[in-house]
Each structure stands twice: as structure tokens, then as C-alpha cells.
A and B are shown apart, each in its own frame.
Chain A
């Protein structure tokens, strides 16, 4: 293996003998960073996070320090901190590892963040399906409260902040931060319009609120431990720290892998780390950042110049694993969920699968997403049932364009982007579908690539 993982967040996860209770965590040096942090000024800690350059690991990659800075402190309202543990983007399974296997790392990170921002009450909004995770977190919170690491007068500092675990009920949209806030308030998870409802100003119960991803909050602990400057040295400028990549699909060793930003390329991840494709298979496409990111097609070249003017010319395999490089390649790193597809993949069927998911998960609040997602899904489902038309590829692209950028929340883009890329880059396959005999589509194919809608 040419490239090696750098495990910071996953340092203890999966190590023999490492358990998720507080004794084990403290044996490995747990909660020392919190205790040290409580002796510092909250503003210093915020500054440290800003210097560290940590970017949100939930999908958008927004700098966490900046998010904290936007908090409306003039209002005098209490500040809330919410950990977004509603990991639901298809292909993503990194937060689950951190929650299940090292919950105290998250709790420590959260309490540091809470103290730094002077949060009044903190929440973990956990995906409904992760019921075991909710139990683990609740036990961890009990343990930490018993030891005085959260709750009243934390570590004798005089600062108090409790933590509440809230389980979702199985809706992808609850991962959208304002949808999450509505759900946490006990309402239907309809994302809010922005403006005016920016969480940093009018968040939970109309109070200033921070919503950070699990991985981001775990990073907070390490950024404070090593110092913002040291943290910023990991990775490249603007893409700091390590990231966990969830790799799934047609690779020999799917799993979660942690690298410094730009510490490896997509090719190295697929071929070296994950053992490449099955023998005899050829790489066809990679979805790099969860199913809502635009697909990368094998053989494509990505050319352009960096901000400093130096040119780049990448193949799919050359793309460095960080935030910005995927944007330069016309897609995004999203939640770091790499889905690898080999030459056995029927791209229309893959699109149908993605479309079915986003149609099912559209909350139904705003028109383009509500109607567009179901329309897209119905078109691709029809195409896979033997009634494809030549004009469907263009229609799909057009429907997607009518959704993109016109919705209340990013679910619109999540619905539109995969279709825009798939129906364009693999247009010939979409058109060829029309020529396929109907019997072929309807025949019940056996094997791992048999088409079925989730």
C-alpha cells in the first residue's frame, strides 16, 4: 500500500480492546483537553478554531470558526449547540463509526465547543435508524455527567451545559440544519427560508444556534488539543485536518478511511487503499461525495487553473482527496462518501435508484423539489421498465435544471445535481435505453447488479 492512513479521529476506533465507555476513554487520555480548555477564555478557543480552518464535514464544507462567529450575541437570547448526527446521505457511514465506537470523543468536542461559544444547552440530533447509537450516546452522557464533564458546573469551572439526545424519525430532510431545528422543536421538518431564518440568528426556538456535524465537533477536540496553527498544518491551506472517507460500491475493500486533506488521491483511495475493483472489471464512474454529488466519469479530464494561476490537468484518479479539488473537478466532496461503479453498472438504473431516494425524501414543502423529484423518479423508473424514449435524457436534464437553485433548501440541488451529471455524461446510455427491447428490461436479471429500486 503506497499511501497510509493518518488516524486522528479514528485513532482508537477498532483498536483491539478499545471500548466505548468512559473508563476506556479516560485511560486513553480522554477529557483532559476539555479540562484544559475550561481554564482558557472562551474567545481564545473560538479564535483557535478559526485559526485551525476546520471546515464542516457534513457536506457543505463551511468553516466552523466562521459559523460560530456569526452567532448573534447582541440579542441576549440563549445560545444552542446542536450536533447533527442525522447521517443519511446515501453512501455515508463515517459519523456512525464515531458515534458507536468513540462517543466520548464527540462529547468532549461538543463540550469544548459549548464552552467556547457559551452555549446554554446542547443537543445531539441522531438519525432515527441509529437506535443503538442513541442508546450509546445516552449512556455516555450519563457517564460524563457523573464525572462532571457535562451538566452543572463542568469540571469545577462554574460553566454549566447539559446535553440532550433527540432521535429523528427516519427522514433525510432532518439532516438539513433548519429542517433539523424544526424537527427538534417538535414540528414537521420543513426547512426554513433563509433569509431570514439563519440558525446563527434565528435558530432553535428563534434563538442563535450552531449546527455542526459529528465529525466536525470531534475535530474541535483535536484542534484545541494540538492548537489551531498545528491543526492548520495538516492538509493544505483552506483544506485543513483529516477527513474520513466512506468508500462503497465496486471495490474490493469498502470501508472508512482517514487521510489528511489532499494526503491521497481518489485513484490511490480506490486502487491502493480499497484494493481496486474486482478482477476483470473496469472503472466506469465514481460518485465522490454522497449520492447528491455530481458523478465523475472514468476517462474524463479535469483542466483549469488554481486560484494562484497554476494550471492543473487531472484524470479522475488524480483528484486529491480534499474539499476544493472536487469543486474544481465540477463536483463536490460532500460528506466524503465515495461510491465506485464498475462497467457492470447500468447508469440509467443507477440514476433511477438515486431519483427514487430523493423523491421519497423530498419533504414536499416547495414546488420544484416536491414535483420535480417525483417526476424525475417516474421518468427513470419508466425508462427502466422498458418504456424509455430517446428524448428522455434531455427531459431529465431540463427538469433537473428547473429544480436547481430554485428551492428552499439544498435538497433541490441534491435532487438535481446527480441527474444533471448522469444524464449528460452518460447521455448515450440513456438514449440507448430507448432501443432496448422491453423484454430485456422486464426480465428478472440475477446477480448483484440486478435492478431494484430501494
Chain B
């Protein structure tokens, strides 16, 4: 039955599948493309077994009690002892020879029954419910339900809008008491504030008295809520989910590189949710990371080029910038928030017009889960592209000295504010600053040339996270009219500075060049950098001895990595 100890063979609806021992039957069936409907089961949480939607028939080969030998039927096949009661697939772990029926009459009857029970006290809120369109109750009611209700009694009445915390609103009537949110808070967020009060069908989800669901992971409870009970206060009643386009992206909050999905409609972002990556963020993300899209529509957004603070056309701005760069005595401040492609182009510029290249280190307390101490999403990328050769610091002391001594007269700044890193306004005033960036700040205000660029949601590219995992993000919404992607701004600037055409004006060309020039990217093509699920682990062994001042996250340990 078992070739190796590593896997066991189970038979689901007559089809054999090999799985590691301990695999539950929901996951095993999924390998065969079979759906076992479920509500309370979640692959990243403990098994509760309370929804009873995943009931299946289960049997094991019968064994002779005395000898332990398998009992065979007339045809020599092992005789199966079917359990008298249906079993929950989520808590049924693979064992050699196990048989499962997921579509028998009994199973269908169980599913119909559970569906009916779940709906008897569920309000008919679908027309006004945020979950509509992504609701397991709707989906399974259609797929496995009876289609009509036999319930003529009065339904339960429960609180309709309880604020569990600053970001989560609860509709208790819709809650099916699956306890996913309770288990998440306890097991993942380690903030055990949720629980049930009252009994039976009157059970109600609530926060412990005096507590609030206010941890930085509270919105994950909204994601995993299979129904419309837990809703995001931010997203509530804003948009129907079926109108939204989903774009894969990467969270720029820290070096964790949480995989995300950006939900937009007609150029407007409505929400960000986590995208599953079992090697990085599992199925979770921070609440703070979900707010980042609000930067897109900020009042401080730079939308037009400027020369000496006055409006200018892009061509002039670029030419003026090129003049400054060609003027010598230059230094560069790149960004740990820029993509690998952009950092590579900036490096090309450094080669063309030599000067010191700096990166600004951003640090904050890590939370041990998905917020890393290194608050830049792409410091590793800057190292791999050769833009910098050491871990960036939070203060640019060397640059400050060189400004004071007059060794640096021109500064090309990519989307950073130097005021925050120890450079004074007086120092800024002495400099010819070329600022490429998305938002106004003290540096852009002091810049001689300002060229607007795009946020992570408006362009495509890739980051290298703390594990040296290359992960791509795609453009979700168009940028402001006339604003070019950073990549294009840099390549046009490069062409002007070098006085020849720049071939690196598209991602494919940049990747071809990086592939050739950079050892870490050897064999990595543009296609790989494109969104491939899970990302691509690069060789970061060159930087093994570096202290990144980074902290432990869900799948990263600075001690062992």
C-alpha cells in the first residue's frame, strides 16, 4: 500500500491519491480536483470541526482482530469497514487504505441538511450584504443546498452593527459561528479577544468585556469570515465585489514582501487583501499594509513636472535634470522602495555619471509575524543590482559631510525625503536637487527639477524580500495623466546624460541586461520576474555576513537565514 513511509495512498470516490500522512481529506480531495465544501476549516488554523459541512463517508480496510491480517472479499480486494456515521473530512487524516466518499447519497443528504440548518436563522441580507459575490453561504447553497426553505418560524434577531474594533464591524445575525475569527485571533494574532457568549442558536460572537479587536491583523478576520458577519469598516458598503478587478501585488510596508491582491474598479482602488503564499505570508497581511492604497489619491501627490517650483513640460524638465547630472559633483539617493528594475537603471546612471550612491534605511520594531524591522521592501534588490554595497543606514552622515565640504553639489533623489535622514533644509538649499517621486516633501520643495513618478499600484516591477525571494507586482490602476513610470523616466534621463539612445526602456530589455550583467540574476528572465506564484528564491549567500537589522517574521528567521 505504501511504497515509502513518506506518503500514504487513500481512495477518494474510487480514485487513488498519494498524500503525506496526516493530510486531511479536504486537502486530499482538492488534489484530485474535488471540492469538499466547508466553512470552519481553514488550512492555516486548528481544526474545529463545528460547521459539519464537510461530512463524508469514511471506511478503512477491515483487519482480522486476532492476526491483524487484512480481510479480503471474494475478489481478493480488501474488505472495507465503513463507519456507521459520516465523518468530518477536515479532521479525518490520511491513513493507509482509507476510503472516502464525497458524493454519495448520504453525503449529499448531509450537505443539504447542514445547508438548510445554516440558513434557517440566516437573514436574507444578500441584496445589502458586502459578502455577496464572495460568500460561501451563497455558493454552497447553490451547489449543495435544497433550493427552497421549509422554515416558517420566526428567525433569530441579533445585533446588526457591532464595532468589534476600529476597523472591523460585526453583523451577528449573519454569523454562522464557525469560530475562524476566534481561532485566528488566538492562534495567529496572539490576541485572544474574541469569543462566543450565550448558548445554542442564540450564541453571539463578541469581544471580551473591556477589550477591542484592534491588533494590526484584525482585518484578516474579515478575509476569513466565510459569510458577511465580519466586515471591513473601511470597505463596508463601498463597492460590489463582482465589479472589482483583482491585481496581484506585493506589500511595500516592510521587507517581508507580503503577497497581496489589489481590488480596483475603473482606476480606483477599493481594498487590498492578502494573497496566499505559504513561504512568505501564508494567507495573512497587516491592517496597516491594507491602507497603503490611500496614498494614491493623496493631496500631496505630484502630478506635473516642475523646474524651480514652477510648472514645466516633461521634456524640459528632463533636459534640465540631465544638465545638472552632467555637471559633476553628484551623489545619488536611491530608494529601498523602488523596484529591482528601477534600482538597476539608477545603477546604470551612476556608472554613466559617477558619484556616491546612497540608500535610506528604514527601521521599526518588528512584530514577529508579517511586519519586519526592515521597513523597506527592496533593500536586497539594491544590493543585488550593485546600486549599494552595504546595508543602508537611517542617517546619511557621509553625504551630509560631503554637502558641507562642497564635494557634492548635485543630488538625484528617487522618491525619498532627505529631511527625515539628517540632512537639513539649509543643506538642501545649497544643492541642485533633481527629484523623481510620487509625493511632495521637503526635498521636492527644495528641488530644482521635479519629475512625478508612479506608486507601486500604478506600475509593474519586482522586489526582493528579506528571504532574497524575487516577487513581482503588476499595475492595478493607471497613474495620473501624463505621469510616466519611474523606469521610463530613468531610461530617458539616461539617454540624455549619455547622449545616446537607451536600450533599457522596457522591462524585458532591463531583465535581459540584468541576466547578463548580474550573477544573482543569472538565468532569471523577464518571465520569471513576472508574477509567478510563490516568487523565486535567489542566491543571497554573498550577503550572508551582512547585518540587515531585520527581524523574524512568519517564514523568516534572521538567525538561520
C-alpha gap A213/B551 in the complex (Å)? 53
Q: Is the interface of B mostly helix, strand, loop or mixed?
A: loop
Chain A residues with CB under 8 Å of B199's CB are 171, 360-364
Inter-chain contact total with CB atoms closer than 8 Å: 97
* Distance of B269 from chain A, by nearest CB (Å): 36
Is A240 part of the contact surface with B, judged by Cβ < 8 Å? no
Contact indicator A365/B153 (Cβ below 8 Å): no
* Residue in A188, A193, A403, A407 whose beta carbon sits within 8 Å of that of B195 in the complex: A188
C-alpha gap A378/B49 in the complex (Å)? 26
Contact indicator A408/B116 (Cβ below 8 Å): no
Interface positions, chain A 394-438, Cβ under 8 Å from B, are 395, 401-403, 405-408
Interface positions, chain A 289-331, Cβ under 8 Å from B, are none
A375-B88 contact in complex given A362-B199, A406-B52, C-beta closer than 8 Å? no
Residue of B nearest to A381 (CB): B153
Contact indicator B153/A375 (Cβ below 8 Å): yes
Chain A residues with CB under 8 Å of B116's CB are 402
Which of B200-208, B234-242, B312-320, B384-392 is the interface stretch? B200-208
* Distance of B287 from chain A, by nearest CB (Å): 28
Chain B residues with CB under 8 Å of A359's CB are 200-201
C-alpha gap A406/B198 in the complex (Å)? 22
Is B170 part of the contact surface with A, judged by Cβ < 8 Å? no
Interface positions, chain A 357-371, Cβ under 8 Å from B, are 359-368, 370-371
Chain B residues with CB under 8 Å of A193's CB are 47-49, 88, 91
Interface positions, chain A 178-199, Cβ under 8 Å from B, are 188, 190, 193, 195-196
* Distance of B197 from chain A, by nearest CB (Å): 9
Residue of B nearest to A171 (CB): B199
- Residue with the greatest number of chain A CB neighbours at <10 A, chosen from B47, B52, B195: B52
Contact digits for A378-402, partner B, Cβ 8 Å, 1 yes 0 no? 1100100000000000010000011
Chain A residues with CB under 8 Å of B243's CB are none
* Residue in B118, B151, B153, B195 whose beta carbon sits within 8 Å of that of A367 in the complex: B118
* Residue in A373, A375, A395, A406 whose beta carbon sits within 8 Å of that of B86 in the complex: A406
Interface positions, chain B 65-89, Cβ under 8 Å from A, are 84-86, 88
Chain A residues with CB under 8 Å of B117's CB are 367-368, 370-372, 375, 402
Contact indicator B85/A364 (Cβ below 8 Å): no
C-alpha gap A360/B203 in the complex (Å)? 11
Residue of B nearest to A360 (CB): B200
Contact indicator A371/B49 (Cβ below 8 Å): no
Contact indicator A405/B177 (Cβ below 8 Å): no
Chain B residues with CB under 8 Å of A368's CB are 52, 113-114, 117
Is A374 part of the contact surface with B, judged by Cβ < 8 Å? yes
A364-B198 contact in complex given A370-B177, A371-B118, C-beta closer than 8 Å? yes
Residue of A nearest to B85 (CB): A405
Interface positions, chain A 11-55, Cβ under 8 Å from B, are none
Contact digits for A321-361, partner B, Cβ 8 Å, 1 yes 0 no? 00000000000000000000000000000000000000111
Chain B residues with CB under 8 Å of A366's CB are 49-52
C-alpha gap A408/B54 in the complex (Å)? 13
Contact indicator B85/A406 (Cβ below 8 Å): yes
C-alpha gap A361/B201 in the complex (Å)? 10
Chain B residues with CB under 8 Å of A195's CB are 91
A371-B50 contact in complex given A359-B201, A362-B201, A379-B153, C-beta closer than 8 Å? no
Contact digits for B196-231, partner A, Cβ 8 Å, 1 yes 0 no? 101111110000000000000000000000000000
Q: Is the interface of A mostly helix, strand, loop or mixed?
A: helix
Residue of A nearest to B153 (CB): A378
* Distance of A9 from chain B, by nearest CB (Å): 33
C-alpha gap A333/B50 in the complex (Å)? 29
Contact indicator B196/A405 (Cβ below 8 Å): no
Chain A residues with CB under 8 Å of B154's CB are 378
C-alpha gap A363/B110 in the complex (Å)? 21
A374-B200 contact in complex given A196-B91, A365-B177, A406-B113, C-beta closer than 8 Å? yes
Chain B residues with CB under 8 Å of A402's CB are 109-110, 113-114, 116-117
* Distance of A194 from chain B, by nearest CB (Å): 9
C-alpha gap A408/B55 in the complex (Å)? 11
Contact indicator B85/A367 (Cβ below 8 Å): no
Chain A residues with CB under 8 Å of B544's CB are none
Chain A residues with CB under 8 Å of B202's CB are 364
A364-B153 contact in complex given A371-B118, A406-B86, C-beta closer than 8 Å? no
Residue of A nearest to B199 (CB): A364
C-alpha gap A378/B199 in the complex (Å)? 16
* Distance of A108 from chain B, by nearest CB (Å): 36
Contact indicator B114/A408 (Cβ below 8 Å): no
* Residue in B53, B110, B120, B150 whose beta carbon sits within 8 Å of that of A371 in the complex: B120
Chain A residues with CB under 8 Å of B84's CB are 405
Contact indicator A374/B52 (Cβ below 8 Å): no
- Residue with the greatest number of chain B CB neighbours at <10 A, chosen from A365, A378, A403: A365
Is B176 part of the contact surface with A, judged by Cβ < 8 Å? yes
Contact digits for B244-259, partner A, Cβ 8 Å, 1 yes 0 no? 0000000000000000
A375-B51 contact in complex given A368-B114, A382-B153, C-beta closer than 8 Å? no
* Distance of B22 from chain A, by nearest CB (Å): 11
Chain A residues with CB under 8 Å of B151's CB are 375
C-alpha gap A378/B117 in the complex (Å)? 13
Is B121 part of the contact surface with A, judged by Cβ < 8 Å? yes
Q: A-B pairs with the 5 shortest C-beta distances?
A: A402-B113, A364-B203, A371-B117, A378-B153, A362-B200
Q: Can you list 5 A-B contacts with CB-CB less than 8 angstroms, sorted by A residue number?
A: A366-B50, A367-B52, A402-B109, A405-B84, A406-B52
* A364-B203, A367-B117, A367-B177 known, 12 other contacts, Cβ within 8 Å: A193-B88, A364-B198, A366-B49, A367-B176, A368-B113, A370-B177, A374-B121, A374-B201, A379-B153, A402-B117, A406-B110, A408-B49
Which residues of B pack against A, CB within 8 Å?
47-53, 55, 84-86, 88, 91, 109-110, 113-114, 116-118, 120-121, 150-151, 153-154, 156, 176-177, 195-196, 198-203
